[in-house]
Amino acid sequence: MPPISRRHFVGASATGVAAISTSTTWLASTRIARAQKSPGESVVLALVGAGGRGSSHAAGMSKIPGVEFKYVCDIQDQRGNAIVRDLEKSQPRPPQRITDMRRAFDDKDVDAVVIATPEHWHALATVWACQAGKDVYVEKNPSLTIWEGRKMIEAARKYGRIVQVGFQNRSGPYAASARDYIASGKLGRIVHVKVYNLLDGSKWEPQPDSEVPPGLDWDAWLGPAPEVPYNRGRHLNWHPWWDYKGGTLADDASHQLDLTRMVLGDPPHPKSVLCIGGNYAFQSRREVPEFQCITYDFGDFAMTCESGNATGYMRKFPGEVRFGTQWPHWPTSATRVEIYGTQALMYLGRHGCGWQVVTEGGKVIDQDKGYFPDKWHQPNFIECLRSRKQPNADIEQAHHSACLVHLGNTSYRVGQRQLLFDGMSERFVNSDAANALLKPVYRKHYRIPDAV
Res 58: pLDDT: 95
Q: What is the CA radius of gyration of the chain?
A: 21
Contact (Cβ atoms closer than 8 angstroms) between residue 172 and residue 373: yes
Domain extent listing, the chain: 24-169+376-394, 172-204+240-373
The pLDDT of 362-377, averaged and rounded, is 97
> 221-225, 422-426, 433-437: lowest mean pLDDT where?
221-225
> 96-105, 160-169, 399-408: lowest mean pLDDT where?
96-105
Structurally, what CATH architecture does the domain formed by 172-204+240-373 represent? Answer: 2-Layer Sandwich (3.30)
Res 79: pLDDT: 82
Res 40: pLDDT: 66
How many alpha carbons fall within 13 Å on the CB side of residue 439? 14
Res 38: pLDDT: 57
Contact (Cβ atoms closer than 8 angstroms) between residue 232 and residue 15: no
Q: What's the pLDDT tens digit per position in 8-41? A: 333 333 333 333 333 333 344 444 344 445 566 8
Contact (Cβ atoms closer than 8 angstroms) between residue 75 and residue 17: yes
Same fold, 24-169+376-394 and 172-204+240-373: no
CA distances in angstroms from 334 to 167, 173, 348, listed in the order given: 18, 22, 12
Its pTM surpasses 0.85: yes
Q: What's the pLDDT tens digit per position in 273-285? A: 999 999 999 999 9
Per DSSP, which regions of 235-320 are E strands? Answer: 272-278, 291-297, 302-309
- Rounded to an integer, what distance in angstroms lies between the CA atom of residue 392 and that of residue 379? 11
User: Is pLDDT above 90 for 95?
Assistant: yes
CATH topology of domain 24-169+376-394: Rossmann fold (3.40.50)
Give the chain's mean pLDDT: 91
- Rounded to an integer, what distance in angstroms lies between the CA atom of residue 212 and that of residue 230? 6
Res 9: pLDDT: 34
Contacts 24+ apart (CB under 8 A), 436-439: 437/145, 437/410, 437/413, 438/145, 438/146, 438/147, 439/145, 439/147, 439/148
Nearest to 438 by CA among 451, 452, 421: 421
Contact (Cβ atoms closer than 8 angstroms) between residue 404 and residue 275: no
